[in-house]
Structure 1
Amino acid sequence: MKLTVDPKPLAELIAWAARAIPNRPTVPVLSGLLLHASDDKLTVSAFDYDASAVATIACEVAEPGRIVAPGRLLAEVAKALPDRLIVDLTATDTEATIRAGRSDFTLRLLPADDYPTLPTPPEPAGTIDAHSFAAAVAQVHPATSNDDTLPMLTGIRLDTDGDQLTLAATDRYRIAVTDTTWNPTAGPISAMIPGRHLHDIVKGLGNGPVQLAINDSMAAFTTSDRQSTVRLLDEQFIDYRARVAMDTTITATVDAPALAAAVKRVGLVADRKTGTAIRLAFTDGEVTLRAGGDDIGRGNETLDSALDGEPIEIAFQSGFLLDALGAIPGKARIGMTEPNKPALFSSEDGSHKQLVMALRLS
């Protein structure tokens, strides 16, 4: 293999693909990145049997070839190269040399013949704007769990109904649901996608349309120069629509970013050992935040708020409260019934809803 390529797109390409390298590969070759050069294109791939990442950039190929380089080391080298000098990459069967100006690196290669065949993606089901899709995933991902003993809680549910695409997640303590639009080319789809993988995938989608493809076992996400696949989880999930359709008798409307900033301030005196509880006391025209106690200190802050219903005081774990508010860019509606019952956080347009468990007041 012999090629020349611009350093900046090369570093971005390799860094994106390297995210799919497993932390503990089942076989050594999976710690590498597969590089394939031909037809003035360089394709970089990563695969761990559960997820794959494939990306392509233009380059000048003098000699086509296929190698497997140590992935994370290659990413560090590519990142460190001078960003204004053309990169020359040459490789034999056993080592690759990367040169940029006076910088010169030689890396030992892994056996390319041992690298597994990459999965074939399913047939496309439709397209969605990359920015809209990434924003929707960011809204629901905090509600996923890291507990692998119950895979359902680690996933993000994807459902479509006509031109509406819905993402949902839960970790038992909250349920997050976001509706957005897409352009379907096939019938309705439903899938449970590992939340960690989907969160990583959308970080590198860039701008423009993303093609979604889903079958019974795999989901694929494709842009003009990148493609990711991920193995699906079991389709079992809760009836999230019924949960977030709860009736509420009290509704407070407040500026979500302002309330989140106030939560961070008063939370400085909350007791980390017993949980960072934030109390919200809603009255006509304002909400008062309280945290802390006699042992550590107390924090209080008051913000403007509109209230429809009776005054109420309710408490939340600060992390859950910040996640719910962080998913809403403007005004948030907080629907409540009783101090010890879950509250429903909603965006003004209703496209995002998050049901959050309240803490018992003492």
Structure 2
Amino acid sequence: MKLRVFAAPLAEAVAFAARALPTRPPVPVLAGILLRTDESGLHLAAFDYETAATTRVDAEIADDGTTLVSGRLLNEICKTLPKAAEVDIELSGSRLLVTSGTARFTLPTLPVEEYPQLPGVPDTVLTVQADTLADAVAQVAVAASTEESLPVLTAVQLLLEDDRITLAATDRYRFAVRELTVQPTGTLPAVKPKTGKKKDEADDGAVLIPAKFLAEATRAMTGEHPVAVGWSDGQLTLTTAGSSIGTRLLDGDFPRHRGVFPTPADAELTVTVPTDEALAALKRVALVASDKTPVRLTVTDDGQQLLLEAGHGDDAHAVDRIPCNTTGHLDGATIAFNPGYLADALKALTAPEARLHATSATKPALLTGHSGELADTDYQHLLMPIRLNG
């Protein structure tokens, strides 16, 4: 192997492949990034039996070859090289030589023959703009659980119906849902019905994707270009120009939101507030709150202001108020939320105004965006209130 490549695209490619490197490799070879050359350039790959990443970079190839080197070390080296510099890479025996300007690195190689075979790329099921998908995933992934004891709740559910996908995530205390338009290929891979249950009509178009993977992968592929999404045989892969990253799908019964979510029409009280002002006030008030200390929301008697309050008694106390518009009335004037969960929901909105639809101080409330005269129904965030004592 002998080649020359520019430092900037090399560093980008190595960083992309490094996303699939395990934190604690079960075997030494999985700590490596696989380098392979052919007439189309330099190919890089990493695989940890769960996640696989492959990418390609243009290069001047003098001699073809394949080698395996420490991925984290190669990634750190590439980060330090001047972006406009040229990099010479040469395999010499059991060492990989990396040279750029006056800098020269000699890296030991790992046994290529022990590296596992990379999984295949499933056929494309749908395509969507990369930026659009990344934004949608970021909106819902915030509601996914981080508790590994319930793997199904660490997932984002993707449901394809005609030319629309629904992304959903929940940790039981909040439930985020986003819909967007895509370009389906018209063919769905077969999905086996769950044991002991009748096959649901929507099962073929629904998959469970680890939320952490999906958020990181879509963020890595952002740009004004399409990304192809495919899945089959328990594997999902995202592919865009020259790069792909995939992971194993999760299995389980994901909680339903259709028919469960309250609708804006169900609300006894709807409060509309400026999103940025609400976030700023919440941030101030939450300084005296903790994960177990709720922020209390109360509409003033004239319906023109929303009071945000945290703390009481001998504890630290904070209060702030923001302008609002209200429709309806809520029995039990105060509704309380986990401040972190409420902040996450507000941050996920892309609209200048936020609307809180409440049916009761103790039942889940629905948060949606609002722009001028138009309501943003493509994104909905359900929040479970915290019951107040007394």
Question: TM-score scaled by structure 2?
Answer: 0.89
Tell me the distance in 2 between the aligned counterparts of 1:116 and 1:14: 19
Secondary structure of residue in 1 paired with 2:107: strand
1:127 matches 2:146 = no
One of 292, 299, 323 as aligned partner of 2:318 = 299
1:218 matches 2:226 = no
Which residue number in structure 2 is paired with residue 359 of structure 1? 386
One-letter code aligned to 1:68 = L
Which residue number in structure 2 is paired with residue 338 of structure 1? 360
Question: RMSD in angstroms over aligned alpha carbons?
Answer: 1.4
Structure 2 counterparts to residues 141-290 of structure 1, below 5 A: 141-187=141-187, 189-207=205-223, 208-246=225-263, 247-270=266-289, 272=290, 275-283=292-300, 284-290=303-309
| CA spacing shift, 1:319–1:124, aligned 2, 3 Å | same
Higher mean C-alpha deviation, range 236-245 or range 116-125? 236-245
C-alpha displacement of 1:93: 4.2
1:316 matches 2:337 = yes
Show CA shifts across 1:22-64 (max 9, x none): 1122211011111111114111111111110111111111111
Show CA shifts across 1:157-183 (max 9, x none): 000111111100111111110001100
Which residue number in structure 2 is paired with residue 91 of structure 1? 91
Which residue number in structure 2 is paired with residue 37 of structure 1? 37
Tell me the distance in 2 between the aligned counterparts of 1:242 and 1:90: 61
C-alpha displacement of 1:16: 1.6
Secondary structure of residue in 1 paired with 2:133: helix
Tell me the distance in 2 between the aligned counterparts of 1:41 and 1:166: 37
One-letter code aligned to 1:20 = A
C-alpha displacement of 1:296: 4.0
C-alpha displacement of 1:252: 0.9
Higher mean C-alpha deviation, range 132-141 or range 346-355? 346-355
Which residue number in structure 1 is paired with residue 74 of structure 2? 74
Tell me the distance in 1 between the aligned counterparts of 2:314 and 2:68: 58
C-alpha displacement of 1:239: 1.1
1:57 matches 2:57 = yes
> Gaps spanning 5+ residues in structure 2: where?
189-204, 370-374
Structure 2 counterparts to residues 23-34 of structure 1, below 5 A: 23-34=23-34
The alignment of Structure 1 onto Structure 2 pairs a total of residues equal to 360
Higher mean C-alpha deviation, range 339-348 or range 240-249? 240-249
Same amino acid, percent of matched pairs: 39
C-alpha displacement of 1:242: 2.1
Q: Do the aligned partners of 2:15 and 2:75 also contact (CA within 8 Å) in 1?
A: yes
One-letter code aligned to 1:102 = T
1:326 matches 2:347 = yes
Tell me the distance in 1 between the aligned counterparts of 2:208 and 2:242: 25
Secondary structure of residue in 1 paired with 2:127: strand
Q: Do the aligned partners of 2:134 and 2:222 also contact (CA within 8 Å) in 1?
A: no
One-letter code aligned to 1:41 = G
Q: Do the aligned partners of 1:275 and 1:317 also contact (CA within 8 Å) in 2?
A: yes
Secondary structure of residue in 2 paired with 1:358: coil
One-letter code aligned to 2:270 = T
Q: Do the aligned partners of 2:11 and 2:75 also contact (CA within 8 Å) in 1?
A: yes
One-letter code aligned to 1:343 = A
Q: Do the aligned partners of 1:46 and 1:52 also contact (CA within 8 Å) in 2?
A: yes
